[in-house]
Amino acid sequence: MSDAASLPDPPTQASRFAPLLTLVHKLIDYGRQLAASLQQPAPPADFDNIAIGFGTYDLTAIVARIIRGLHRATALASRLQRLETTPEPDPAATPAMPPRASRAATAPMPRPPRAAAIVAAAPTPEQIAAKVQRQPIGEVFADICRDLGILPGHPLWHDLFLAIVRFGGRLGRLCVHISNRALAARTAPKVLTASNAVASPCAQPPLRLATTGPPV
C-alpha cells in the first residue's frame, strides 16, 4: 500500500478543524475509489465525465494526478491535526494570493501534457507535504480539486466551495482551470490510453488496461 494510504485517523471529538478534517477524509475516500475503478479491466461507464474533470483520456495521466492528490490530502490532514496543538496564524485571516484570473482567462489553453511527462515531473510526497505547509488551506483544497478532477456538481463541491473561499483559496482561478480542462477533453480524441505504468494509490493490483490506440 502506498504512503498516500497512511493518513491520520479521522477526528474523534469536536474541534475547530473537525469539519475540514472530515472533508479531507471524504476526499481521500473518493480518490481511492476513483483509482480503484480505473484499475478494472474495463473503464468506468462514466469515463467521459471523468475525462472532462481531468482534461484528458490518458488513464496513466489521470492516475498519476490522483496519486498526487492523495498525497496532498494526506499532508493537509496532518497539518490540520497539528493545528489543534500548535496553532498557526488564523487560516481564515490568511489573504488569498494575488488573483490572476484575467490573465488565465485570456491566455491560450495549453495542450494536455503527455502522461510520461506528468509521471517524470511528479513531485515526491515530501515535496508535496512541504508545499502544503506553505499554502493557504483554501488553496490546498483547490489543488486537491484539480488533482482529483472534481467538478461543480460533485457531491463534495458545496463543502469544497466554502472551504476554498473561507480559507484563502482562489476560486476564480480554479473555475477557469476547470473550464479549460473540460474544453480540452471535449476536443481530444476519445481514445483510452495507458502509456505508462504508475504506482497504485490503493491496495489493488497494478493498473491493467488494454490500450485501444497509440499513446497521445
Are the C-beta atoms of residues 83 and 17 closer than 8 Å to each other? yes
- Is residue 196 in a domain? no
Which residues span the domain enclosing 60?
A: 16-187
Report the pLDDT value the prediction gives residue 15, as an integer from 0 to 100: 74
Are the C-beta atoms of residues 211 and 194 closer than 8 Å to each other? yes
Rg over CA atoms, the chain: 17
Report the pLDDT value the prediction gives residue 159, as an integer from 0 to 100: 96
Report the pLDDT value the prediction gives residue 7, as an integer from 0 to 100: 55
- Is residue 92 in a domain? yes
Per-residue pLDDT of the chain (216 residues; tens, 9 = 90+): 455 545 555 544 457 789 999 999 999 999 999 999 998 888 788 888 899 999 988 888 999 999 999 999 999 999 999 987 776 655 444 444 444 444 444 444 444 455 455 555 678 889 999 999 999 999 999 999 999 999 999 999 999 999 999 999 999 999 999 999 998 888 876 666 554 334 444 433 333 333 333 333
Q: Cell digits for 88?
A: 498557526
- Is residue 11 in a domain? no
Distinct helix (H) and strand (E) counts, the chain: 9, 0
Q: Cell digits for 21?
A: 478534517
Report the pLDDT value the prediction gives residue 216, as an integer from 0 to 100: 31
Report the pLDDT value the prediction gives residue 17, as an integer from 0 to 100: 87
Report the pLDDT value the prediction gives residue 153, as an integer from 0 to 100: 92
Closest CA to 198 of 208, 188, 190, 189: 208
- Is residue 4 in a domain? no
Report the pLDDT value the prediction gives residue 78, as an integer from 0 to 100: 94
- Is residue 62 in a domain? yes
Report the pLDDT value the prediction gives residue 12, as an integer from 0 to 100: 47
CA–CA separation, 137 vs 32, rounded Å? 22
- Is residue 7 in a domain? no
One DSSP character per residue, 26-51 reads: HHHHHHHHHHHHHTSSS--TTHHHHH
Q: Cell digits for 139?
A: 488553496
- Is residue 216 in a domain? no
Closest CA to 61 of 193, 166, 188: 193
Number of domains in the chain: 1
- Is residue 172 in a domain? yes
Are the C-beta atoms of residues 198 and 62 closer than 8 Å to each other? no
